[in-house]
A and B are shown apart, each in its own frame.
Chain A
Amino acid sequence: DTAVSQTPKYLVTQMGNDKSIKCEQNLGHDTMYWYKQDSKKFLKIMFSYNNKELIINETVPNRFSPKSPDKAHLNLHINSLELGDSAVYFCASRASWGGNTGELFFGEGSRLTVL
């Protein structure tokens, strides 16, 4: 039973298109994240939601819009895709009641290629 699942795993699309990536966790966690991993493997935080409320919003273009319909889901919609958006996007979740030792659980990643 997958703990953090993302769909789709692979996405190839043209510049200018709009696409969405979905994430669901069945761990009962209250905090979810989106990270972007570039070709050099650097993981950069994009957004975080706690109990459906946005708590972290790093300097991300407003073409990226996260949505959390409930605690178990965090989706990412990207408008007007650009070449530089090509990356692997990871969803993650953790329990905030774990304090500062709360482990972050990652999905397997969604590999986005913009042509």
Chain B
Amino acid sequence: QKEVEQDPGPLSVPEGAIVSLNCTYSNSAFQYFMWYRQYSRKGPELLMYTYSSGNKEDGRFTAQVDKSSKYISLFIRDSQPSDSATYLCVRLNDYKLSFGAGTTVTVRA
């Protein structure tokens, strides 16, 4: 079983829609979570990180962690064509970052 499970999509939404991305993880040890964004033919870059249950907001992006159900979510409000990318959820434990499979999102203009 992978440490982080993520629905690979793909997901296609119209501009302005809310994008909802989800991951589940298997290890209950205290750990940090991140969301990375990867544009085509580029390396991933950090979007948000969180380490506690609840919500964290950054502009149009909200990261949510539910440790009781081992669920990680990312919401993108008022989505733009420039948000079209692959979104990867990541669990960080000590030195090791474990990536989900990534969900490819296309925002249609």
Q: Name A's B-contacting residues (CB within 8 A).
A: 4, 31, 33, 35, 40-45, 48, 50, 55-56, 90, 92, 96, 100-101, 103-109
Q: Provided the pairs A41-B8, A100-B32, A109-B43 are in contact, do residues A56 and B86 lie with their beta carbons within 8 angstroms? A: no
Pair B86/A48 contact, Cβ less than 8 Å: no
**B59-75 toward A: CB 8 Å interface, digit per residue (1/0)?**
00000000000000000
Pair B95/A108 contact, Cβ less than 8 Å: no
Q: Does B25 contact A (CB under 8 A)?
A: no
The residues of B that contact A104 with a CB separation of less than 8 Å are 36, 44, 46, 97
* A-contacting residues, B62-109, CB 8 Å: 86, 88, 92, 95-99, 101-102, 104
Q: Name B's A-contacting residues (CB within 8 A).
A: 8, 31-32, 36, 38, 41-46, 49, 51, 86, 88, 92, 95-99, 101-102, 104
Pair B43/A48 contact, Cβ less than 8 Å: no
* Most chain A CB neighbours (cut-off 10 Å) among B8, B41, B43, B104: B43
- A55 and B97 CA atoms in complex are apart in Å by 13
